[in-house]
Amino acid sequence: MRFQFTQEQQRFREEVSAFLRQEMSPEYETVYGTFSEEKYWFGRALARKLADRGWLTIGWPREYGGGGKTFLEQSILDEQIGYQRVQRVGITGLNFAGPAIIKFGTEEQKKRYLPPIARGDVEYCQGFTEPNAGSDLASLQMRAERDGDDYVLNGSKMFTSYYAHADYIYLLARTDPDAPKHRGISLFIVEMNAPGISTRPLPYINGEVAAQTFFDSVRIPRSSLVGEENQGWYHAMTTLDYERVGLERYARVRRTFDDFVNFCRDAASNGKSLGHSPLVRHKLAELKVGMEGWGLLCWKVAWMQSQGEVPNAEASIAFLYGTQQRLRFAQAAMEILGQRGTLTPESELAPIQGAIEGVSRESLHLHGAGTLEIHRNIIAQRGLGLPR
């Protein structure tokens, strides 16, 4: 067992890290809950610079605009983006829509959709969840009815993140209402400016704004179908596990933890150094154990993908553990800081730019990419082999 990066991977990590540190400045850092249009467009420009260096899709095959490396290199990039607090852009295209097209798309779709993603030129959003289909996603009701050479979409999607800047929506819709529920679903890529699409903003606790997205007789060509008709559920599930690797999410929290440890080393509370307090030291030590564990679980999933394996229970283990670790960290940091922990970035007195207040709100997001209960169900069934 070789438990380390290759020299080349290590060099890549150092290069990316140095490049991002040089490009970033504090006003563009996305500390939790400090989103802005300016930061978003800064992130877009930076994505193009990463693309120019061949790094944005370094793990994709060369023939589709990628760097021909493995998922480990792609994960190293994600990790550095998170750690340097770069506003993340293009995730849905890079992590789900792109890989789904590579795996299931036609040659024409690959030529049309992949190069703009690899260049950092487009934004995608994801239309899976519906008002009556969240955890039980296969119950989704949005219809895609065949009409000549077109499909006509009717229905609505919930919690569409990144909708405001999206050029395309990657969505699931029901193409056969009479088939068993997992079998009558298809996967589509639809232009967000298609006539009949409208949105209603849904502001989140962490400052981000998603949307409910409505489809009113939206006509799309047959070429929008990705993969086989009625096989969309299986196509989408293959790529959904990629969402759960989460090295960027891990690294973003890890950066806040590292900053917090540095803060505790120097800061004083009621005249006493936090770093000398046995209570604080033990809490930080426990958190360090959890952070190391989370990182290792994420890297294990990334490594499996680099070997061509499709992680399943492993991805759920990493995701569940990470969501809980983020919550544990936020609660412990709040306890250590007391009322100061609730100060937002606008206050000069907020410790580490208000990141603790921000990560506390962020940590209440327990539902994205599958709720804790759903991940426990997956681990019980597929990880432990317990009956359905």
Ligand X SMILES: Cc1cc2nc3c(=O)[nH]c(=O)nc-3n(C[C@H](O)[C@H](O)[C@H](O)COP(=O)(O)OP(=O)(O)OC[C@H]3O[C@@H](n4cnc5c(N)ncnc54)[C@H](O)[C@@H]3O)c2cc1C
Q: Which residues are catalytic?
A: 243
Q: Which range, of 122-130, 144-152, 185-193, 271-279, touches ligand X by CB under 6 A?
A: 122-130
Piece in contact with ligand X (CB under 6 A), picked from 28-36, 50-58, 128-136, 326-334: 128-136
Extract the runs of DSSP E, i.e. beta strands, from 158-293. Answer: 168-174, 185-191, 197-203, 209-221, 225-226, 268-269, 272-273
3-state secondary structure (DSSP) of residue 11: helix
Closer Cβ to ligand X, 269 or 381, answer by number: 381
Minimum separation from the CB atom of position 316 to ligand X (A)? 13
- Does 139 participate in binding ligand X (rule CB under 6 A)? no
Question: CB of residue 205 vs ligand X: minimum separation in angstroms?
Answer: 9
State yes or no: residue 365 binds ligand X (CB under 6 A).
yes
Closest CA to 326 of 252, 263, 275: 252
**Could you please report the per-residue DSSP string of 121-147?**
---EEEE--BTTBSSSGGG---EEEEE
Q: What are phi and psi of 214, to 5 degrees?
A: -105, 140
Closer to ligand X by CB, 113 or 159: give it: 159
Tell me the closest approach of the beta carbon of residue 372 to ligand X, in angstroms. 6
Say whether residue 160 binds ligand X (CB under 6 A): yes
Query: Which of residues 115 and 368 has its CB atom nearest to ligand X in the complex?
Result: 368
Instruction: Decide: is 126 part of the binding site for ligand X (CB under 6 A).
Output: yes
* Residue selected from 6, 135, 198, 262 as contacting ligand X according to rule CB under 6 A: 135
Q: Give dist(CA 345, CA 352) in Å, integer.
A: 8
To ligand X, the closest distance from the beta carbon of 9 in angstroms equals: 30
Of positions 129, 175, 186, 212, contacts ligand X by CB under 6 A: 129
Residues within window 57-116 making contact with ligand X, judged by CB under 6 A: none
CA dihedral 269, 270, 275, 276 (to 10 degrees): -170
- Pick 75 or 126: Cβ nearer ligand X: 126
Are residues 158 and 134 in contact, defined by beta-carbon separation less than 8 angstroms? yes
Interface with ligand X: number of residues (CB under 6 A): 20
Span near ligand X by CB under 6 A; candidates 24-32, 241-249, 346-354, 369-377: 369-377
- The radius of gyration computed from the CA coordinates of the chain, to the nearest angstrom, equals 21
Residue of minimal CB distance from ligand X? 134
Q: Which one of the spans 75-83, 110-118, 129-137, 306-314 is the region binding ligand X (CB under 6 A)?
A: 129-137
Report yes or no: 82 and 249 within 8 Å, Cβ to Cβ: yes
What is the residue whose two structure tokens read 């599930």?
A: 237
Measured from the Cβ of residue 5, the count of other Cβ atoms closer than 10 Å reads 15
SS3 for 362? helix
Q: What 3-state class would DSSP assign to 81?
A: helix
Best CA proximity match to 118, nearest among 73, 158, 166, 60: 60
Beta carbon of residue 323, minimum distance to ligand X (angstroms, whole number):
10
Residue whose CB is less far from ligand X, 106 or 135: 135
Q: Which is closer to ligand X, CB of 70 or CB of 160? A: 160
* 8-state DSSP, 86: P
* Spatial distance between the Cα atoms of 41 and 78, rounded to a whole number of angstroms: 18
Q: Using the rule CB under 6 A, which residue among 269, 277, 331, 371 binds ligand X?
A: 371
Residues near ligand X (CB under 6 A) are: 125-129, 134-135, 157, 159-161, 210, 365, 367-368, 370-371, 373-374, 377
